[in-house]
Amino acid sequence: MAKPRLACRECHYINQPDANVCESCGATTLTEDWAGYVVITHPEESEIAEEMNVNEPGGYALKVR
């Protein structure tokens, strides 16, 4: 069984399962407890990215616990 991917509690970026530090913001508060997934390709043109305060393309969790 594959290990679950980890969401950053700070920026909601979805990281690889073996990550210790967020690839996007550098935070160490990663968790397996997240829900919802959105892929943002052009954050500068996205209303969702603006609402989520996302500036970099990538996959993000909608809810992180």
Binding residues are 8, 11, 22, 25
Binding residues for Zn(2+) are 8, 11, 22, 25
Residue 48 sits at φ, ψ, to 5 deg, of -65, -45
Residue 40 sits at φ, ψ, to 5 deg, of -110, 120
Residue pair 65/31 in contact by the 8 Å Cβ criterion: yes
